[in-house]
Structure 1
Amino acid sequence: MPHLQFEVSEPLADDAVDGFIERVTGLFAEHMDTGTGHVAVTVRDDAGVALGRAAADEPVAVLNADVRAGRTADQRRALAADCIAALADRLGVPPANCYVVYTEHPGADFHLDEGPLDAWDAGEDETGAL
């Protein structure tokens, strides 16, 4: 069960957040070759977030992505690039002020009510390898 945790320095409109969550959930499924039923997304806005290269008055966003191990560097880079583009297009954060950090875990570290997830496997179904 991936958990995509977005911290954004600016206050955001609820409808913008809803559309953004839908977009990044789809991007995760597309790039990581899985379904969406197990994808968790958190967006915290108006957060005390800074990035050394951004001016104090510029919007900043950080994505902490907890994912199951096994994805390629190309998959991770493609998702990062598209999430940065979505942050810019949908939430107004300049691409240069976005930062993405991945943490990888074995499937057994992710639990739904039904139980832990299996290790990631390309083309898994909507539930994400229960």
Structure 2
Amino acid sequence: MPLLQFATTLSLSPAERESFVDFVTDRYADEMETTTGHVAVTIAEREPSAIAIGREVEGPLLFLDAEVREGRPFAYKRAFALAVMEHAVEAFGVHEPNCKVVFTEHAGEDMMGIDRVGGDWSASEE
């Protein structure tokens, strides 16, 4: 179960949040070769004084902490990260230097829900 946690200074409407969550969930499934049913997404809107990045330019910030199962190739992660950041730039006007994605990988068994424990990822998962 990937846990995709966004911290942002954007102030999104409920419709914008839902649309963004749908986009992120679908792109994660596409780029990471999995299904959407277990993708978890959170969006935490913060005051501008609550988050920073040294290279920022004036405007909103958007950071993604992507907790994922280990095993996916770098190219998959890079494609997903770029898709999310490019979407934030186009849809919300976030300047490119103000976007950041960090992946943390976990063994499949470290990721669980009440109904299941994750397993190792394989390219044939989808």
Per the normalisation by structure 1, the TM-score is 0.89
Query: For residues 79-90 of structure 1, what are the structure 2 equivalents within 5 Å?
Result: 79-90=80-91
Contact kept? 1:12, 1:46, Cα under 8 Å: no
**How many pairs were matched up?**
124
Off by >6 Å, runs of 4+ in structure 1: none
* Larger mean Cα displacement after TM superposition, 10-19 or 30-39: 10-19
3-state SS of 2:41 partner: strand
The equivalent of 1:96 in structure 2 is: 97
Q: Is the 8 A contact 1:63 1:100 kept in 2?
A: yes
Tell me which amino acid in the other structure corresponds to 2:79.
A
User: Structure 2: which 5+ residue stretches go unaligned?
Assistant: none
Shift in Å, 1:68? 0.2
* Residue aligned with 1:81, SS: helix
CA distance in 1: counterparts of 2:36 and 2:7, whole angstroms: 21
Once residues 38 and 120 of structure 2 are traced to their aligned partners in structure 1, the CA distance between those partners, rounded to angstroms, is 14
Once the two structures are superposed, what CA deviation does each residue of 1:69-105 show, in whole Å capped at 9, x if it has no partner? 0010101110110010111122221222101100000
The answer for the alignment partner of 2:71 in structure 1 is 70
1:8 maps to amino acid: T
| Equivalent-residue separation in structure 2 for 1:108 and 1:43 (angstroms) | 25
Match of 2:5 in 1: 5
For residues 89 and 19 of structure 1, what CA distance do their matches in structure 2 show? 13
Aligned residue for 1:128? none
Q: Deviations over 1:52-75 (max 9, x none)?
A: 1113x4211110000000010101
For 1:85 and 1:53, how far apart are their aligned partners in 2?
17
Alpha-carbon RMSD: 1.2
Amino-acid identity (%): 37
Cα deviation for residue 14 of structure 1 reads 1.3
TM-score by length of 2: 0.92
